[in-house]
Amino acid sequence: MTTLPPLAGLTVVSLEQAVAAPFATRQLADLGARVIKIERPGSGDFARGYDEVVHGNSSYFVWLNRGKESLTLDVKSPDGRAILGELLDGADVLVQNLGPGAAQRLGIDAPALAHRHPRVIPCTVSGWGTTGPWADRKAYDLLVQCEAGLLSITGTEAETVKVGISVADIAAGMYAYSGILTALLRRATTGAVSAVEVSLFEALAEWMGAPATYTRYGPSQPSRVGAQHATIVPYGPYDTADGQILLAVQNDREWRALCTAVLDDPSIADDPRFAVNSARVEHRTELNALIAARLATFTTAAAGAVLDEAGVANAGINQLEDFLEHPVLAGRGRWHEVAVPGGTAAALQPPADLADVEPVMGAVPAVGEHSDAILHDLGRSPADVATLRERGVV
């Protein structure tokens, strides 16, 4: 017997752009929810235009939008708002990351939704929160990284560096996803409907918890130390005879094993400069010199073998091409093909495995691909749809 996906039967309507909200709704689609993505007539979600590398589609859009139905709709028009209202009559969740004030102007903010569609769980993804001094301020991922202090601890002593992925967007998307699941559970068990709100800034602020706490109670904020860990030593990359390897020491057992197996001097483990992690952080330069001198005598493969034998965690420093061919992803069958306009694309299975449940991983939609079908389901005739299209409503 085929097991239904966990969210089968749930309908999500999403007025979404870019990364954060689409990332949240893609998780819901992977679990079987019907996600109706409302896009601008003509151009659609502006993330479609970020690049054209996947059979003419944007890499961002392909990653974020599988398994959704695309409805083009001018929600500012009276007819568009009426159609949106009809969709919400049958929906369970409304997700939106519209600009400041737009949800209120459209009558789909949480108070309005509670009045007109009381069963619908509203989820708002904003930049800085819908209240407070920055409620009307624009927010993009890198702006949020800056304001959260992430750039101040990322990079080298000489240069700040952004994180290489849209980490604020992704953090907000994951909290929106988990918040929606929590609200659905509450509605199912108590009947109460909770509005969900997540801001990019507060999502990333949560992820800044460790360096923020260290800064509040420690001597200073963590230093920028490139690919090394700011507050755990040794933890970072080292040159070998033919490349690089990253090693990580997290506890006293691993530290003593490193001193014996790599440094070939167990007494170093009790040297007052290095005996505890806080001392090793203070004397990072001296310790790194000792480790570097020894690892320079090993090939990368030999260093990995010695560290593995000693039980010291280590990793290769991969390029993305290496990641795409990683033996763990291949050996565990994590890559799957999904349909995209113009072809197919490889996509990773969602990381949370549920026993006896296969993720849906549906097709990536073309702009407005499902508009006719959705409108027909709402009772519009082909002639009605043609008229709406002529007037620019869909």
The residue behind tokens 């609200």 is 183
The residue behind tokens 């689609």 is 29
Contact 14, 38 (CB under 8 A): yes
Q: Which residues are catalytic?
A: 229
Distance, CA of 237 to CA of 318 (rounded, Å): 12
The whole-number pLDDT of residue 1 equals 45
Pairing of strands 11-15, 93-96: parallel
pLDDT in tens, 109-124: 999 999 999 999 999 9
Contact 37, 68 (CB under 8 A): yes
Pick the CATH number of 11-208+331-390 from 3.20.20.70, 3.40.50.10540, 3.40.1190.20, 2.60.40.10: 3.40.50.10540
Distance, CA of 230 to CA of 248 (rounded, Å): 12
Chain CA centroid to CA 76, Å: 30
Token code pair at residue 94:
């409304």
Q: In b/e form, how buried is each residue of 349-372, taking b as 16+ CB within 10 angstroms?
A: beeeeeeeeebbbbbbbebbbbbb
Ramachandran region of residue 359, left (φ > 0), alpha (ψ -120 to 50) or beta? Answer: beta
Pairing of strands 335-340, 121-126: unpaired
Angstrom distances, CA of residue 137 to CA of 12, 126, 132, 152: 27, 10, 10, 22
Please name the residues in contact with 188: beta carbons below 8 A apart, sequence gap of 6 or more. Answer: none
Any idea which architecture 235-316 has in CATH? 2-Layer Sandwich (3.30)
Q: Which of 238, 248, 180, 183 has its CA nearest to residue 31?
A: 180
HSE at residue 323, side-chain half, CA atoms within 13 A, is 5
- ∠224-18-167 over CA atoms, to 5°? 20
Q: Which of 226, 20, 16, 14 has its CA nearest to residue 141?
A: 20
The residue behind tokens 């530290």 is 255
User: pTM (2 decimals)?
Assistant: 0.91
Question: Residue-wise pLDDT tens for the chain (394 aa)?
Answer: 468 899 999 999 999 999 999 999 999 999 999 999 999 999 999 999 999 999 999 999 999 999 999 999 999 999 999 999 999 999 999 999 998 889 999 999 999 999 999 999 999 999 999 999 999 998 999 999 999 999 999 999 999 999 999 999 999 999 999 999 999 999 999 999 999 999 999 999 999 999 999 999 988 899 899 899 988 999 999 999 999 999 999 999 999 999 999 999 999 999 999 999 999 999 999 999 999 999 999 999 999 999 999 999 999 999 999 999 999 999 999 999 999 999 999 999 999 999 989 999 999 999 999 999 999 999 999 999 999 999 999 9
Q: Which of 370, 362, 351, 364 has its CA nearest to residue 62?
A: 364
- Residue type for 24, please? A
Distance, CA of 260 to CA of 254 (rounded, Å): 10
Residue 71's SS3 state is strand
Distance, CA of 34 to CA of 365 (rounded, Å): 13
Domain map of the chain by residue range?
Answer: 11-208+331-390, 235-316
Contact 13, 36 (CB under 8 A): yes
Residue 40's SS3 state is coil
Beta strands (DSSP E) in the chain are: 11-15, 34-39, 68-72, 93-96, 121-126, 196-199, 235-239, 244-248, 313-315, 335-340, 343-348
